[in-house]
Structure 1
Amino acid sequence: LRLWQLSGDSSEPSTGPSSLRAAVVAVMRGHAAAVQCAAVHARTNKLASGGWDSAIKLWSLPKLGAKAGARGGEEGRAGGDGEGGTGEEAEGEEGAGEGAEGRGQARKRVRTAAGSVEAEGVELSPDLSLEGHSQCVAALAWPSSNSPLFSVSWDHSLRSWDVEAAASVSVRTSAHPLLAVAAGGGGMASLAAVGGAHPTILLWDMRSATSVLSPSVQLLGHTDWISSLSWSPSNPLHLLSSSYDGSLKIWDLRSSVPLHTVKAHSDKVLCADWWKGGDAVVSGGADNHLRIFTHQSSFPAA
């Protein structure tokens, strides 16, 4: 995994050169196979990642301030000789922020027409590994509230984790591989929505440690696999879902019928999320399109 920080002016027209600069702040290595997903816990500055090695890794992120992100500024500049004809500069830095004192390393910054990108970064090792899944960890959810970490896997299971104890505290099992999870809905830290290799969305209350409970709610409406789920940041009862059937749906927990449905893509919808505080939705699909929808203009009643 790589942690990036952007700096510069993002208000310039997209048709002209951009002053944005992307800096690699940290490189995280620890998985034994491809990384599939990641989730950040903003309150603790921690990151969780899941991969095809069936493991979940926990990382402590460096603390970034405005000055730490201003690569090439007054702080940490050591200079260097540019490589003739390539427009590259070598820079030495003392660290990647408050959390990386004494771990600095030389960085190479590549200037392009679109801005500049600083390669490399502080290399981090995981704080710990959470073991329990037997197949690929497909998705993670880690609400910023005081709630557990949630994971779903191709092994059909949904797990909640006590990160401090490094232990799985609750497990639910589905009849199908699970690919998507959203946690913290309905104002409940223990409520998780999951979906996967089946058109049905399942809602589970994870407060009980048993694994044999049926889902609290089943949402029916999609006709193909569920690819992503996300609770609205403005209404804890509203859930956004995307599917391989090409559609997006917005659900209200008080009803089994979707509030809104839109045929978003001509192929599978691979991902979707809320934007602008819940006033809009962004989706990406296998049709190579990124689309933005607003409730008023794009979401008819279901």
Structure 2
Amino acid sequence: MTTTGTDSADTPQMQIRFVTKEQKYAVPNYPLSVPTTVVISDLNALVNELLKESDLVTQEVEFDFLISSEFLRSSLVEHIGERGISTEQVVDIEYVEKHPPPEPQDCLIHDDWVSAVAVSGKWILTGCYDNTLHIWTSKGKHILIIPGHTSPIKAVSWISVNEENASFVSASQDQTAIIWDWNITSNSVDCIHICKGHERGLEAVGVNETGTLMATGSWDTMLKIWSTTAEDDEEGESASKRMKKDHGKTKVPKRTLKGHKEALSGVVWTDKTEIVTSSWDHTLKLWDSELGGIKQEIAGNKSFFDVDYSPLSRTLITASADRHIRLYDSRSKDGAIVKAMFTSHVQWVQSVCWSTTDEHLFMSGAYDSNVKLWDTRSPKASLFDLMGHEDKVLACNWSNPKLMVSGGSDNTVRIFKAKNSNR
């Protein structure tokens, strides 16, 4: 057993053992005696001392420390006290290399509020309150402005992207969703389909993994499912007949799903047939898109403004009017479906988005002008605040693991470069 140099005759001691999954930083796992009052900086100094003794590192490495699957954010005695862990036992402390801070890259200036943003590879798609769509490169170069809608655009999503062509969808308060085809080589865009069927403005759109189906949510409380391709629609004529008419580009929904009592705010596919929706009616609903029914309903206590699903952790995160972000496991069998609550924003949380490469990380944007990077193992405090917006943050996206992108009512899109830690 070893004792740290922060000893004090008056401070109670306890025993800890350092463990890590990051083998290059593994130190001997024998118990160490430390004061119960130690904090992160003390533990960092201790691990780095042990690493130097073992000749494993030459320069300081900053670590985060997990006890009972949650990051230490207070003194050791406070943390274990909240979890009912005795100071009499040897406490295992897992350490991971601290996540590096995202770096600000670009600010893309628009003429109006930016209410929708989607990233695919090196392309950024934005939707505005002046009814226009924009395509940018990830380096901040403006490629194209696309008119067509007659009201603000509230949601956008890429459908498919390759070297020469891309297709995407925009959903607007003008009650339509439009499917666009972008010829990247000639930098020209065509409106392929105008999706009509909603009776009020659209708020959300989600495309399935194969890009063959999409779902839209609206203020008319309906969830509608559409084909993204030129195949025959359920209620209509063949595509070739319709193309001969003036309104040949009009597409009708394959299915309309009723169940929400107020506007839908978020739509996300969790697998080939399941869709999750969030709504102003304080509920989340899980739908079977093929059978057309509600599989599960999750009640909240305030309006939901967004929902996202992580295939890595198979959990949901939600943005809400009560300033809290919640983590839900809809498959949970042990009582509570809410697994964690993240509180740090001081106004409505408008948008949430999971990392596509790390099951623990997600970002959020709120009316308090803040974008935050979170780790699910640190519910009391975000990892980093991404500063820059000067007004409400309305949308955020992390589809490209290297870029964290947000749009707001300060007429800008902010791009942060997300660095990967080694964990």
TM-score band w.r.t. shorter chain: 0.7 to 0.9
Distance in 2 (alpha carbons) for counterparts of 1:121 and 1:228: 35
* Equivalent residue for 2:201, pick from 22, 26, 34: 34
Q: Deviations over 1:47-98 (max 9, x none)?
A: 100101100001111169xxxxxxxxxxxxxxxxxxxxxxxxxxxxxxxxxx
Q: 2:260 — aligned with what?
A: 133
Do 1:41 and 1:142's aligned partners in 2 also have CA atoms closer than 8 Å?
yes
Q: Deviations over 1:245-269 (max 9, x none)?
A: 1111111222223222122311111
* Equivalent residue for 1:157, pick from 266, 280, 283: 283
Please state how far the C-alpha of 1:146 moved relative to its aligned partner: 4.2
Tell me the secondary structure at the aligned position of residue 133 of structure 1. coil
Q: 2:18 — aligned with what?
A: none
Q: 2:159 — aligned with what?
A: none
Do 1:185 and 1:231's aligned partners in 2 also have CA atoms closer than 8 Å?
no
Taking structure 2 as the reference length, the TM-score comes to 0.52
| Identity in percent | 27
Relative distance call for 1:134 and 1:42 in structure 2 (3 A) is same
Distance in 1 (alpha carbons) for counterparts of 2:255 and 2:309: 22
Matched, 1:49 2:216: yes
Q: 1:76 — aligned with what?
A: none
Distance in 1 (alpha carbons) for counterparts of 2:292 and 2:346: 37
Q: 1:217 — aligned with what?
A: 340
Distance in 2 (alpha carbons) for counterparts of 1:130 and 1:166: 6
Trace 1:18-33 onto structure 2 (pairs within 5 A): 19-33=186-200
Do 2:242 and 2:248's aligned partners in 1 also have CA atoms closer than 8 Å?
no
User: What is the alpha-carbon root mean square deviation over aligned residues?
Assistant: 2.5
Do 1:268 and 1:285's aligned partners in 2 also have CA atoms closer than 8 Å?
yes
**Residue segments in structure 2 that go unaligned for 5+ positions in a row:** 1-176, 232-237
Distance in 1 (alpha carbons) for counterparts of 2:252 and 2:374: 39
Matched, 1:170 2:309: no
Q: 2:371 — aligned with what?
A: 248
Relative distance call for 1:148 and 1:226 in structure 2 (3 A) is same
Trace 1:1-302 onto structure 2 (pairs within 5 A): 1-9=177-185, 19-43=186-210, 45-62=212-229, 100-105=239-244, 122-143=249-270, 145-146=271-272, 148-184=274-310, 186-188=312-314, 191-207=315-331, 213=336, 215-256=338-379, 257-274=381-398, 277-295=400-418
Q: Deviations over 1:113-135 (max 9, x none)?
A: xxxxxxx7521111111111000
Please state how far the C-alpha of 1:103 moved relative to its aligned partner: 3.4
Do 1:244 and 1:270's aligned partners in 2 also have CA atoms closer than 8 Å?
yes
Distance in 2 (alpha carbons) for counterparts of 1:198 and 1:214: 18
* Runs of 4+ with deviation above 3 angstroms: 99-103
Tell me the secondary structure at the aligned position of residue 338 of structure 2. coil
Taking structure 1 as the reference length, the TM-score comes to 0.72
Do 1:24 and 1:121's aligned partners in 2 also have CA atoms closer than 8 Å?
no
**Number of residues of Structure 1 aligned to a counterpart in Structure 2:** 237
